[in-house]
Amino acid sequence: MCYSLRSSRLGALARVFFYVIYMIMNHKNEQWVFYRDIEGQTTAPGVVRKVLAYCDAMMCVENAFDEGAVGALHKHPHTQITYVASGRFRFTIGGETREIGKGDTLCKQDGVTHGCVCLEKGVLVDFFTPMREDFV
Each residue's pLDDT tens digit, 50-97: 999 999 999 999 999 999 999 999 999 999 999 999 999 999 999 999
pTM, 2 dp: 0.81
Residue length, the chain? 136
Domain 40-135 sits in CATH at: 2.60.120.10
Say whether pLDDT at 107 is over 60: yes
R_g of the chain, CA atoms, integer Å: 19
Helix (H, G, I), strand (E, B) or coil at 17: helix
Model confidence at 25, in pLDDT bands (50, 70, 90)? low
Mean pLDDT of the chain: 88
CA distance 25 to 19: 10
Say whether pLDDT at 23 is over 70: no
Averaged pLDDT for residues 88-109: 98
Helix (H, G, I), strand (E, B) or coil at 78: coil
